[in-house]
Amino acid sequence: MLCPNCQKPLQAINYHSIKIDMCARCGGLWFDPQELPAYLETFKAIHEFPPLTISEVTQKAQNIYTLAEQQKKCPRCLLPMNKFNYAYNSNIFLDRCPTCQGLWADRDEIAKVVRFNQGNPLINKLAAAMAQEQKGFQQQLDTMESLSSLAKSVPLFLILPKIILPLADDNPRSSFPWATLSLISLNLAAFIFQIIFIPLGKWPTLFQQFGLVPAQFMAGTIGLNIVTALFLHGGVFHLLGNMFFLWLFGDNVEEKFGVIKFLLFYLACGLAASLGHVYFNKTSFAPLIGASGAISGIMGAYLFLFPKIKIKTLFFFKIIEIPSAVFFTSWLGLQLFNSWWAHLTHHTNIAWWAHIGGFAFGWGLICLINYGRKIESNRGVAR
């Protein structure tokens, strides 16, 4: 393996019984999954560091895009690594390979990490979560390998479907959907900005910076990411799929709510969906992005408001009309199945629990709203 900095061969060394790879020229260190946590513990026990100052604990996080550094290549996979801020405000930027999950640290970065962890109790939670995720990485690979034969025996149509594809609904509206179109326009504008001003190779860093990272959230790093994540998308099909669902179901729900209440309802569903995802993925460093959680909440409201409306649906190359109650029940069943399968295989790039949580929250919230209206109506009759 070659050093990402100076392209010299890395030397395998034993650091107090911990095997790591080091560059003799620049002092950089390469850590395979599970090696960094043990190294940090040993390094911390041997060296003493002064406590962090108040200004260091409360410092503002640097924007990762201001770093004028060339993207480094993974010594093992030879693919570009993603630079990430070790913690929200640490300003310690490490490099991680998205394929093998290995980590590269320059000469003085490990000392900075240890010192930052010692002086900031909140970040200890993040460090523990990071160690736990790396520890489980090999277990995930082992699970995938052991289940490969099982996956081949499962009927293909049970694994591949991600959605039941709706085409149109028989539900005309009488007002212009200002809020729905505004949300679609905002998502499109964010994506256009993304593809124009952010190089494709920097997208993972963008998602890490402005997406919702469960492990950071659980460590107390709570910012605007829980909102900005709703307007980021990983590609054209991700964006268009979400916007089509929003257009198809959002206009009728908006007509029932009104513009302002619909926007607030959309945001509340998005936040609830994000929290649902975080709850089931507490130690994950994979950023959550996309509007699907909020849109799932709109779908839950649609189910409550229009359970008998017919939806034209593409189903196994045929177009059929089914009541929305049947459509959404089937859709929810697929989300539950896929979440179970993802848990079984430890492998997914879709936030199934964000879909489920957003849908349940949207349906439940409109149930409460309707119940409250009935109570007010009964009180009015009683007077």
Complete DSSP assignment for 259-290: HHHHHHHHHHHHHHHHHHHHHH-TT--SPB--
* pLDDT reported for residue 53: 65
HSE-up (13 A, CA, CB side) for residue 249 = 32
**Model pLDDT for residues 311-342, shown as the tens digit of each residue:** 988 776 678 888 999 999 989 988 998 888 87
Torsion sign over Cα 364, 366, 372, 375 = negative
| Sheet with 310-315: strands ordered across | 165-169, 310-315, 318-323
**Model pLDDT for residues 197-220, shown as the tens digit of each residue:** 988 888 888 888 899 988 888 877
Q: What is the SS3 assignment for 236-251?
A: HHHHHHHHHHHHHHHH
**Model pLDDT for residues 238-281, shown as the tens digit of each residue:** 999 999 999 999 999 999 999 999 999 999 999 999 999 999 88
More confident residue, 85 or 67: 85
Q: What structural domains and CATH numbers belong to the chain?
A: 11-145 (no CATH), 153-382 (1.20.1540.10)
Cβ(75)–Cβ(2) under 8 Å? yes
* pLDDT reported for residue 125: 53
Residue 29 to residue 39: CA distance in whole angstroms: 11
Helix 236-257 and helix 259-280, axial crossing angle in degrees, nearest 10: 130
Residue 146 to residue 50: CA distance in whole angstroms: 47
Q: Which range (8-12, 57-61, 139-143, 199-203) has the least confidence?
A: 139-143
More confident residue, 224 or 260: 260
